[in-house]
Amino acid sequence: RKEVEQDPGPFNVPEGATVAFNCTYSNSASQSFFWYRQDCRKEPKLLMSVYSSGNEDGRFTAQLNRASQYISLLIRDSKLSDSATYLCVAPLADSWGKLQFGAGTQVVVTP
């Protein structure tokens, strides 16, 4: 099992719709998680941090399910500018600073 696993997509979403996708992680001791977005192979940009059960920032909601070891990202009222690859990030076991990136979930918002 990969340490951080994501559905690669693509998720094709009509503008204005809601889309949600998950990320599973293997390190049960992980305490902090992150969602990043990456556009056209530019640098990843931090979208949200997830430290407890969840976090909400505007149209974006991240939730953490420790029992099942996954985090989710939900995007409401999708905008064309939300089209990107969303990267799930979790710390690796026995590693202070080494964060493992998932391969990413591609979201394509269509007019």
Partner 1 sequence: NAGVMQNPRHLVRRRGQEARLRCSPMKGHSHVYWYRQLPEEGLKFMVYLQKENIIDESGMPKERFSAEFPKEGPSILRIQQVVRGDSAAYFCASSAEKRGSPLHFGNGTRLTVT
Which residues are near partner 1 by CB under 8 A? 31-32, 34, 41-46, 49, 51, 87, 89, 91, 95-104
Nearest to partner 1 of 74, 92 (CB atom): 92
- Identify the CA nearest to 37 among candidates 102, 111, 110, 99: 102
Q: How far is the CB of 46 from partner 1 (least distance, A)?
A: 5
Nearest to partner 1 of 13, 102 (CB atom): 102
Q: How far is the CB of 14 from partner 1 (least distance, A)?
A: 27
Contacts with 55 (C-beta within 8 Å, 6 or more apart), sequence order: 48, 49, 61, 62
Q: How far is the CB of 92 from partner 1 (least distance, A)?
A: 8
Nearest to partner 1 of 78, 83 (CB atom): 83
- Identify the CA nearest to 74 among candidates 13, 4, 20, 2: 20
E strand or H helix that includes residue 89: strand 84-91
